[in-house]
Structure 1
């Protein structure tokens, strides 16, 4: 069973809800880190996105994913990491039925 992630910022930590029942504190993890964790490695995520590993490393270092890659990441992670988590400055807050929309599209 695939673990679904929902991220909420709480002060300096990130609170992650896994399987909708357990809470895990992940210090300093951002949405791109969670996407990497979902795939197991930077190389695996890069291969699924069709980019080089260095591109993902640059996104992590800058703390920003290009907007055009956010929707692709959302699709390849099957909604585990959303465009809203990756770039809230562009996409804003997620609609309440967003998880269902991603599942239906897949």
Structure 2
């Protein structure tokens, strides 16, 4: 697929969803589209330039809650006495 075709598909997908970007998109494509002002690149994500969607903490907290709880249960198995634990600002999403 040519770059213009990929870019068109990515823009359409991001505009329809308002974000986040399709997971099969390359970072190079996202960077090029952001440089051209066709999407807004956010850390690990991309948003539509037309989107005003900025969900609240409570909305983000409750979204995909079952998946988040499942991840926490699995992660807890790796924590042992004397271990260090670090958290990062990330989210879960389903495609």
TM-score of the superposition, structure 1-length normalised? 0.27
The higher-RCO structure (CA 8 Å, 6+ apart) is 2
Give the helix-richer structure, 1 or 2.
1
Per the normalisation by structure 2, the TM-score is: 0.29
